[in-house]
């Protein structure tokens, strides 16, 4: 037996098992797992902020470490188990294959998106109350949030496409592995790449922007700025995951995945 799952086998798993099981999860389970995913991604985001603030001797190394430590978030989601809106773009393969209804998927997406926000805000509250986001770390958090809320629709949208293209590929690669170490390595490189490249992730921004908002001494970061970012980033994430991963791989492997 091969020590990894071939792409056609991954497609079959996503279509017949992963997507269908996610569509059939109860609302309560989806909500709780969605809250966990929002918190898990926020754990990665807060660690990335801290490392980005504390590593000042070289911008390139700081950016690389920022992206590297952020990957812990998706590792927790995939290996510990949680429901993440961006990764759930892969559910679209089950819809394309006729294994799940579009209405089922959209309902689960909405619940997970809201639950991810609740989980993210929980970590915002905990980090703010902990006093750990102070000094240079607070300055870094505010700078990140400022950059995101002032990003125009077009750049935000296209950065989000590339982001979730890589996020869904990270999940895809993790499904190729039979062991935990392989899954960790599979997740690490695509996530490091998207964060270090400056791409936009809607759920991560549910932590990055609010924590900066609460710490901003000028009060120039607002909920209006939050939605100015989240709307195009969410749309781009959907295109990146459902379009460039789910649709393309379904088109390539649909014969062997739906036989």
State the angle between helix axes of 202-215 and 223-238 in degrees (0 to 180), rounded to the nearest 10. Answer: 170
Lowest mean pLDDT among 122-131, 208-217, 249-258: 249-258
pLDDT confidence of residue 256: 60
Kindly report the pTM of this predicted structure.
Answer: 0.96
150-161 pLDDT, tens digit per residue, is 999 999 999 999
Residue pLDDT, tens place only, 86-114: 999 999 999 999 999 999 999 999 999 99
Q: Percent of the chain having pLDDT more than 70?
A: 97
Mean pLDDT, residues 132-156 taken together: 97
Confidence band, pLDDT 50/70/90 cuts, at residue 257: low
Q: Which CATH class is domain 7-257?
A: mainly alpha
From the list 42, 45, 214, 203, the residue with the least C-alpha distance to 128 is: 214
pLDDT score at 254:
80
Percent of the chain that is helix, strand, coil (3-state, to 5): 80, 0, 15
Q: How far is 201 from 208, CA to CA, in rounded Å?
A: 10
Kindly state the average pLDDT of the residues 175-191.
96
Q: How far is CA 110 from the centre of its chain?
A: 15
Domains in the chain: boundaries: 7-257
Query: Of 190, 162, 186, 237, which Cα lies nearest the Cα of 10?
Result: 186
At 38-55, the pLDDT tens digits run: 999 999 999 999 999 999
Using one digit for the tens of pLDDT, what is the confidence trace for 11-31?
999 998 899 999 999 999 999
Distance CA 127, CA 227 (A): 22
Q: What is the mean pLDDT of the chain?
A: 95
Q: Mean pLDDT, to the nearest integer, of 113-121? A: 98
Q: Are 7 and 81 in contact (CB under 8 A)?
A: no
Residue written as tokens 């990335």?
A: 48
């Amino acid at each position: 037996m091969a020590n990894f799952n071939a792409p056609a086998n991954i497609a079959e798993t996503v279509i017949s098992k992963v997507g269908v099981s996610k569509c059939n999860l109860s609302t309560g389970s989806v909500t709780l797992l969605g809250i966990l995913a929002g918190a898990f991604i926020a754990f990665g985001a807060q660690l990335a902020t801290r490392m980005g603030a504390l590593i000042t001797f070289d911008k390139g190394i700081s950016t690389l470490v920022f992206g590297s430590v952020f990957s812990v978030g998706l590792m927790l989601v995939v290996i510990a188990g949680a429901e993440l809106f961006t990764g759930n773009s892969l559910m679209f393969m089950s819809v394309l294959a006729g294994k799940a209804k579009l209405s089922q998927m959209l309902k689960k997406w909405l619940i997970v998106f809201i639950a991810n926000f609740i989980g993210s805000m929980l970590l915002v509250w905990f980090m703010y109350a902990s006093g750990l986001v102070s000094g240079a770390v607070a300055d870094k958090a505010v700078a990140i949030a400022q950059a995101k809320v002032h990003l125009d629709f077009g750049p935000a949208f296209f950065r989000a496409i590339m982001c979730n293209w890589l996020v869904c590929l990270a999940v895809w690669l993790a499904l190729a592995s039979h062991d935990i170490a392989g899954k960790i390595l599979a997740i690490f490189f695509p996530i490091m790449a998207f964060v270090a490249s400056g791409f936009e992730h809607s759920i991560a921004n549910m932590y990055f922007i609010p924590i900066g908002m609460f710490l901003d001494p000028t009060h120039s970061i607002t909920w209006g700025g939050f939605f100015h970012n989240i709307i195009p980033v969410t749309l781009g994430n959907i295109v990146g995951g459902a379009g460039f991963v789910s649709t393309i791989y379904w088109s390539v492997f649909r014969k062997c995945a739906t036989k």
